[in-house]
Every structure is written in C-alpha cells, then in structure tokens.
Amino acid sequence: MISKYKSTTSTDSRSFSNKDSRPATRRPNYNSPLSASRPRTVVRPGLSSPAVKTNRPQFQNTTRATLRGPRLPFRPVFAASGALGSLRIMALGGLEEVGRNMMLIEYNKEIIIVDMGLQFPEEDMLGIDYIIPNISYLEDKKDWIKGVVITHGHYDHIGGIPHIMGRIGNPPMFMGKMTAGLVRKRNVEFYSCPNLNIKEIDETTKVKLGQNFNLEFLRVNHSIPDCFAVIIDTPLGRVVHTGDFKIDFTPVNDKPADLNRIAQIGAGGVLFLLSDSTDATHAGYQISESAIGDEMGKLFEKITGRIIIGTFASQLSRVQKIFDHATKYGRRVLLQGRSMNDNVEVAHQISYLKFNPRLLVDERDVNKIPDSQLVIIGTGAQGEKGGAFLNKVVNGEHRLIHFKAGDTVIFSSSIIPGNERSVQTLMDKIVRQGAKVINYRMMDIHAGGHAKQEDLKLMMRLLKPEFFMPIEANHYMLRAHADLAEQVGIARDKIFIADNGQVVEFKKVNNQVVGALTKEKINTDYVMVDGLGVGDVSNVVLKDRQMMAEDGMIVVIATIDVKTNDIIGNPDLISRGFVYMKENKDLIEKTRMIAKKIVKDQAGSLPIDEDFIKNKIRVDVGQFLFSQTKRRPMVLPVVIKV
C-alpha cells in the first residue's frame, strides 16, 4: 500500500560509535496532543538533564485516556542519499505459533536478526526435544548478516542460538546484561557453539550496523528482567520491534514503563510496528507484578505448613517477592529444578536478585527444617512430564520430598493453552496425597508477562505507526491484534497478517513509501532437535514414530537360499506394541503364510529382487493386518540370504 506521506531524503550523517553522541532528528509536531506546550529549548533525544528543558512529552500526571490523540503523520527518521532499495522483513518463526521467534530485517544485501528462539514440540512429535528456526535462507548470505539482537532471555527467544550462530558466521550479538548471562550459561553445554561476540546493551545504547541500520533500544517490562524493544532506523523509515512486553508502572526489580520515551519514538515517525500479540485476545490491562507479590504475602502470613510454589524458572520478579516474603516470615527456601537454580544463580551474580545466600537451603538438609519454616520453589506447574519437580514429587520419584497433609501447593502461573488436561491431572494427584492446591483462578497469584488489549492499544497510540504487523502468536491471536490496530485508526490495508516466511516489502516509488505483504515465501520448515541430532528428523520419521506409538510394529524375517532363491522354512515374526502373539496365533500364522507366498512367488527369478520382496511384504502384510484388526502397525521386512 502507498503511504500518503512523502518520505524525505536526507544526507544527515549519524555516528553511533559513542553512546553520548546523539543523532539529530526531525523536530517533533508540537501541535500533537502529546505535547502540551512548546519548550523554549529543544535538545536531541536522550540528552536531558535537570538543567536543560527537553521536548519529551510529560506523562507523569496524564491518564491513559488522554494519550489517545489523533495519529501523527508518518515521517521517516533516516534516509540515505542516492538510490533507495527495498526493505524486506520476514519471520523464520513466531507467526504461526508461540515460540521459535526469529525475525529478519533486510536492506540492500544487509541483514539484521531479531531473536533466535526455540519452540517446544507438539504432543505428536515423539522423541523431539524442541524445534528451531530453519535458516536455509541465510546459509548463502552469511556476509549480509551485520548483527543479531536478542530482546530478552526466554528460551523462545534464545533457545536456537547454540545451534544457529556457528552456521551463519557468528556475527556480533546485542542483548541486555541478564540475557547475556543466561546465554553464556546455556552455551557452555554445546561444544559446537562458537565463542559468541556478545555486546551488552541498555536503554541508552546506540549502534550502527552496516551502512543501512541504526539501532536504539527501549527498555520494556516482561516476566524476566532486561527486556528491550528494538528501534531500527533504515533508509526507508523507522521499524519498531516490541519484543515481548507489558506495561507495568510498579514492576519488581525493574524500571516502570517509560511512556515518555515511547511517545518520543512515535513523534519521530514510525514506518512499521511489529508488536507482541500473545495476549491480544485478553481484554483489559495486565496485572502489575507488585500486586501479585502482595497477594503472595497474604498466603505466607496465613499458611502454617510447608509452602510449595510451582512457577516458571524465568519468573525472576516472582522469585524475588517469594524471597522477600520468606525472609519476612522466617522461612528458608529450597530451589528445585536445574533451570530454576541456573536462573537464580545468574540473576544473583549480576544483582538482579537481591537476597542473603543463607536464605537458601541445601536439598540434603531439607528434612531438618520444620515445615512452618520452609518454602520450596520448583518447576513443573504446566504438568510437564519427565524431570519436572512437581511431576517427580507427585509420582513418588523424588528421593527426599513427598506431598503430605498440611502442605500448600501454589500454582503461580497461568495454564499454557494445550496443557489444561495435564495440569488438572497433576492437581488431582496432589490433592489425593493430602496437600491443598491454590491456583491463579482462586486469587491473584499470577501476572502474565504480555500486554493485554488496552496495553496493546496504548502502545499503538503512542507509536502511531503507518504500517503494522502483529507477531509472536498463533494466527487467531494475530487476527485479534489486527482488529485492535483498526480500532486505534490504522488503515486495514496497512495491517499485515503474515505467515512464517512471508515477505513484507517496502519500496520508495515516486517519492512515496509503498508497503505490501508479498506472495514470496521463504522456507521455514521445522528443524527438529532430537538428542544430539539437529535437523535429521523429518516429517516421515515423525509419522513412523506416531504409527509405532499408536499401532505398534511387526517385523517379518524371511531367510532365502541364495542357490535356489527359495525361502528356508517359514518367516519369523516379531510383534511389539501390536498384538500379544500367544493370544493371536491364528492371525500370526496367516501373516506368516502371506509373507512366505510372496517370497516363493519370486523364487524363479534370477537374481532375486530383494527390494521388490520387501516392498511387497510391507504392503500386503499391512493391508491384511488392517483388514483383520483395523490397525496399521509399522511393518518392517527383513530378508536374510544364506
């Protein structure tokens, strides 16, 4: 679509080599309702001081309603001289799922990458640990990649790093201090990952990447510290990628939402906004993390037995409040789960978590502490199987901890869609063992990390983008966010609801910016990590695993005399997960005779066609077994020549 606002070509030269060097920007529109009065002195963004007046809008005493104002016209902030190319933006993941987030911004053979996450497998992806983005588009473009920005430290944004960085030339990476600590901690486990060139950033950092990208960073609130939105100035205009965010004015161990800075970015002109859509279907505003801490404090005051809290290992703000309440009410804390221990260790080392180390108790000493003086924080609140703490305890697999009467188990997390049955089963088992369960439906003991509808609309009203694309969610969430964008005045034909791999392209035509969701689509097929293997499990393998899981398998072993090409004896059959052979002798015998006949029919051919025999056994035996049982076991023919 064509923007009705003309982009202006500028020869402005920006230097990003020094944090204190600030780029000159277009004078803001002082007629905007966001600026109550015109300041006498205008300074460049970011150079405010007590002695200098700034043009930054003042919101301290402003309600959300007064921020709605009309949309400002789009004004590109930075444009290079000479011929302009096309700006291409495409997602390698994160537009059809929650997870696997990875966005590419490309201009004139230069690329920057935002995030590099993983996605946890679906229930039918048997044996798969997780899924990472498909980078086949980048493999012959290593020289184009100028940098990687990581918005925050959740696995759906950092999980692909050890598998991908070495394959794209190990470009420089930019991330917050907490995120850097988590990335370094995890990458020690991957011998194939190169030594990463990590540069730590904060909200004052400015970076120039290549000839076409100037980056700034906006600190945002989420459920983990050190989260940033990315502001990318390109020759065709400004692109803003929010990352995961919510608007929290009273966060824990973090700075409150900076509406002044957000509005300032919008006043400078935003061509394209890519915004978090995870909670776009939820009405209202997101709850503040500090409110959750207050509710948690009430529970600590009342409960006399053990307090066992299940939450996400990345919910470090929640962990901080638990530590605070444990200290206040004279309790010690036991951490359970490797990811929980790792995250707390990293956060404490860089002072994001503040507590006396003596607060923590060693697992070996847990039974020496009275129940009234103990808090246990662990993972598994989503009903995860395997080594998750709550699952191990409820199944009697934990060597030291067992649920008992007097325990209170707090599920301090909402249920991820798709996990409802697993969580309900887990809670049922806990209650059967005598413990009491409290969850987020009973009281405010969980705040999400993502903006709800009113927060999303506020972000759009402040940034006032010309074009908009919802990201980081399933399609129906993207659609809901697109509807919100229309409500705040963004034209429907300038809202792009894309799939993974679809290319959004901007061009300058007749001095006007043209944006479109193209038909071009790059490869974003799943790359699955299975143990030490990366990308070596295909959909065919998954289908085979699903078949074996549902209907089992049967092995047909035929021994052939190489001199006569005739079968020796009867074929042997091995059944696993299909039928119990001793109780189905008639079925097994008929199957054996079918396989024998297939081999005998080929006895006269010289040389014997082994592949044909295997294929024929696979098809005919499979059809026969389905006709008899209505099940399709995997048939594995084996031909042995003697």
Annotated binding site for substrate: 446-450
Question: For residue 639, what are its two tokens?
Answer: 């031909």
Q: Using N-to-C axis directions, what is the helix angle for 338-349 and 316-328, rounded to 10°?
A: 80
Is 428 an active-site residue? no
- Residue found under tokens 């071009």: 520
Provide the annotated binding site for Ca(2+).
127, 129, 530
Q: How far apart, in whole angstroms, are the C-alpha atoms of residue 529 and residue 337?
A: 22
* Cβ atoms of 214 and 16 closer than 8 Å: yes
- Can you say whether the dihedral through the CA atoms of 388, 226, 122, 419 is positive or negative? positive
* Catalytic entry in 450, 455, 481, 551: 450
Question: For residue 458, what are its two tokens?
Answer: 């506020």
* Cβ atoms of 340 and 379 closer than 8 Å: yes
Amino acid identity for residue 298 in this structure? K
DSSP state of 137: T
* Cβ atoms of 310 and 389 closer than 8 Å: yes
Q: What are phi and psi for residue 639, nearest 5 degrees?
A: -110, 125
Amino acid identity for residue 8 in this structure? T
Burial tier of 636 (Cβ tally within 10 Å: 0-12, 13-18, 19+): middle
Question: For residue 318, what are its two tokens?
Answer: 């929640």
DSSP state of 506: E
Q: 529 pairs with which residues across the strands?
A: 130, 534
Residue partners of 469: CB distance under 8 A and separation at least 6: 89, 272, 273, 274, 275, 495, 496, 497, 498, 504
Burial tier of 624 (Cβ tally within 10 Å: 0-12, 13-18, 19+): middle
Buried b / exposed e along 228-247 (16+ C-beta atoms within 10 A): bbbbbbbbbbbbbbbbbbbb
* Catalytic entry in 258, 276, 279, 324: 276
Q: How far apart, in whole angstroms, are the C-alpha atoms of residue 266 and residue 607?
A: 77
Question: For residue 606, what are its two tokens?
Answer: 């010289």
- Residue found under tokens 């200098």: 52
Provide the annotated binding site for Zn(2+).
152, 154, 156-157, 222, 244
Q: How far apart, in whole angstroms, are the C-alpha atoms of residue 311 and residue 196?
A: 30
Q: How far apart, in whole angstroms, are the C-alpha atoms of residue 406 and residue 402?
A: 12
Question: For residue 466, what are its two tokens?
Answer: 């010309």
Q: 332 pairs with which residues across the strands?
A: 374
Q: How far apart, in whole angstroms, are the C-alpha atoms of residue 379 and residue 612?
A: 52
Is 282 an active-site residue? no
Provide the annotated binding site.
127, 129, 152, 154, 156-157, 222, 244, 446-450, 530
Residue partners of 410: CB distance under 8 A and separation at least 6: 296, 299, 307, 308, 309, 310, 438, 439, 445
- Helix, strand and coil content of the chain, in percent to the nearest 5, comes to 30, 25, 45
Helical ranges in 331-452 per DSSP H: 338-349, 389-394, 420-432
Q: 209 pairs with which residues across the strands?
A: 213
Direct distance between the N- and C-terminal alpha carbons of the chain, in angstroms, rounded to an integer: 71
Q: What are phi and psi for residue 122, nearest 5 degrees?
A: -75, 165
Reference 637, options 579, 567, 587, 582; nearest CA is: 567
Q: What is the number of other CB atoms lying within 10 angstroms of the CB of residue 350?
A: 15
Report, as residue numbers or ranges, the catalytic residues.
276, 450
